[in-house]
Structure 1
Amino acid sequence: MILKMLSFVIILTVVIHTCLSELDMWYPSQPCTEAKDQNSYDTFLKHHLRKDTPTDTRKLREWQKFINKINTWGRPIQSFLPFREASRVKAVCSSAGKTYGGNLCISKKPFTFFTVEIIDKKQVKKVKVQKQHVILGCDKIKNKCLPIHFEPNKNDAIPDNNNPDCSKAMANSSFIPFEELFHV
Structure 2
Amino acid sequence: MIITELANVFFAVMDLIFGIPPLSTADPCTRKNTETNYKEFLHRHVLQTDFDRNSVPAWESYLKYEKLWCRTSTQSFMDKNQNVEDVCASGLRVENGGNLCISPSQMRVYDVITMKSNDGCSIQVTPRQTRVIVACDRVVNRCLPVHYERYVKQKATAVPCPPQNS
TM-score category, normalised to shorter length: 0.7 to 0.9
Query: How many aligned positions are there?
Result: 150
TM-aligned CA deviation for residue 143 of structure 1? 0.8
TM-aligned CA deviation for residue 24 of structure 1? 6.5
Question: Take 1:17 and 1:157, find their aligned partners in 2: how far apart are those partners?
Answer: 25
| TM-score of the two chains, using structure 2 as the length reference | 0.78
How do residues 10-159 of structure 1 correspond to structure 2 at under 5 angstroms?
19=13, 21-22=15-16, 25=20, 27-28=22-23, 29=25, 30-52=27-49, 54-57=51-54, 59-72=55-68, 73-86=70-83, 89-95=84-90, 97-100=91-94, 101-121=97-117, 122-153=120-151, 155-159=152-156
Q: Aligned pair in 2 of structure 1 residues 83, 17: CA closer, same or farther (>3 Å)?
A: closer
1:102 is paired with a residue whose SS is: coil
Residue type of the alignment partner of 2:160: D
TM-aligned CA deviation for residue 32 of structure 1? 0.9
Q: Of Structure 1 and Structure 2, which has the larger fraction of its residues in helix? A: 1
CA RMSD across the alignment: 2.7
The structure with more radius of gyration: 1
| TM-score of the two chains, using structure 1 as the length reference | 0.71
Q: Aligned pair in 2 of structure 1 residues 38, 138: CA closer, same or farther (>3 Å)?
A: same
- Aligned sequence identity (%): 25
1:39 is paired with a residue whose SS is: helix
| Structure 1 runs not aligned, ≥5 long | 1-14, 173-184
TM-aligned CA deviation for residue 17 of structure 1? 10
Retained in 1: the 8 A contact 2:41–2:145?
A: yes
TM-aligned CA deviation for residue 145 of structure 1? 0.5
The corresponding residue for 2:6 is none
Question: Take 1:139 and 1:124, find their aligned partners in 2: how far apart are those partners?
Answer: 34
Question: Take 1:123 and 1:106, find their aligned partners in 2: how far apart are those partners?
Answer: 32
Q: Of Structure 1 and Structure 2, which has the larger fraction of its residues in strand? A: 2
Q: Aligned pair in 2 of structure 1 residues 139, 53: CA closer, same or farther (>3 Å)?
A: farther
Retained in 2: the 8 A contact 1:107–1:135?
A: yes
Question: Take 1:93 and 1:79, find their aligned partners in 2: how far apart are those partners?
Answer: 18
Task: Say whether 1:165 aligns with 2:160.
Answer: yes
